[in-house]
Amino acid sequence: MNTVSKKAQIGKSVQIGEYTVIKDDVIIGDNVEIGSNVLIDNGARIASNVKIHHGAVISSIPQDLKFKGEITTLEVGEGTIVREYATLNRGTSYSNKTIIGKNCLFMSYSHVAHDCILGDNVILANSANLGGHVILGDWVIIGGITGVHQYVKVGKHTIIATHSKVVKDVPPYITAGNLPLKYEGLNLIGLRRRGFTNSQINRIDFAYNTIYKTGLNVSDAIAELKKEKNITDEMKEIINFIESSERGIISD
């Protein structure tokens, strides 16, 4: 037996497991699979072809003492998989929504807090936890048992090692690990799997050698990169990410 509100908008061919609860203000797309003992709370906006496993909690209220019951949402993109006991909170009045992209994977006990923005193809491994207002770019992978501080930004195509503590911004295209968290080189495996050419990878490597290996401070390193005649789109992404960072980036 499950409890599904008659006010919820549920698409075609949706499977709902036993003892699952779906509240009033919920919209679910087509071909969604929902396991047993799942809570889909008010504000959930779940796209088609999403899979939600046993015991997951979707769009529960923010764990923020400033939250006063305002109407907010959690958006889950098409093809995303939410494994057992993962918890995804809806937004606060700060932005009114938490956004999760397409084809993401949230492994067991992972957590996405209020007002986070996640791109497509993001993976949170087991017990990876995001604080509020975190922004993850496309193809980011967060290792298991990792905590990401509120307001941190992680650039696209970056992988963060298991059991990490992320308190500063992590630029795109890299591997980060160790305690405290440090730049450990490019995410070569990920970049090659996604079709980056050797020329693109070489220019990314040049950019990070300038930032981390020349002895320049970050501002001076960025100034040097801007003088380059061959500034690729990937280099622009790196420059823009670092210049917009409010928390500062991880060190070498």
Residue 83 lies in a domain: yes
d(CA 79, CA 76): 9
8 A C-beta contact, residue 88 and residue 118: no
Each of the 252 residues of the chain gets a pLDDT tens digit; together they read 789 999 999 999 999 999 999 999 999 999 999 999 999 999 999 999 999 999 999 999 999 999 999 999 999 999 999 999 999 999 999 999 999 999 999 999 999 999 999 999 999 999 999 999 999 999 999 999 999 999 999 999 999 999 999 999 999 999 999 999 999 999 999 999 999 999 999 999 999 999 999 999 999 999 999 999 999 999 999 999 999 999 999 999
d(CA 108, CA 225): 41
Positive/negative CA dihedral, 40, 62, 121, 165: negative
Q: Quick one: 128 and 200 in the same domain?
A: no
Q: Quick one: 24 and 133 in the same domain?
A: yes
Q: Which helix (H) or strand (E) holds 76?
A: strand 73-76
Q: Quick one: 134 and 196 in the same domain?
A: no
Q: Quick one: 16 and 117 in the same domain?
A: yes
Which residues participate in catalysis according to the annotation?
114-115, 132
The amino acid at residue 129 is: N
Q: Quick one: 117 and 221 in the same domain?
A: no
According to the model, what pLDDT value does residue 147 have?
A: 98
The 10 Å Cβ neighbour count of residue 144 is 17
CATH number at residue 231: 1.20.1180.10
3 state DSSP class of 128 = coil
According to the model, what pLDDT value does residue 1 have?
A: 72
Residue 159 lies in a domain: no
8 A C-beta contact, residue 155 and residue 173: yes
CATH number at residue 121: 2.160.10.10
d(CA 140, CA 73): 23
Best CA proximity match to 100, nearest among 158, 59, 71: 59
pLDDT digits (tens, 9 = 90+) for 91-101: 999 999 999 99
According to the model, what pLDDT value does residue 85 have?
A: 98
Q: Quick one: 130 and 196 in the same domain?
A: no
According to the model, what pLDDT value does residue 17 have?
A: 97
DSSP label at 49?
T
Residue 169 lies in a domain: no
Which of 99, 121, 151 is a domain's end point?
A: 151
The amino acid at residue 64 is: D
Phi/psi for 192 (5° steps) reads: -70, -40
From residue 130, give the alpha-carbon distance in Å to each of 11, 38, 76.
30, 21, 16
State the residue range of the domain holding 141: 3-151
d(CA 168, CA 122): 19
What region does 191 belong to: left with phi over 0, alpha with psi -120 to 50, or beta?
alpha
Residue 181 lies in a domain: no
8 A C-beta contact, residue 56 and residue 84: yes
Q: Quick one: 138 and 19 in the same domain?
A: yes
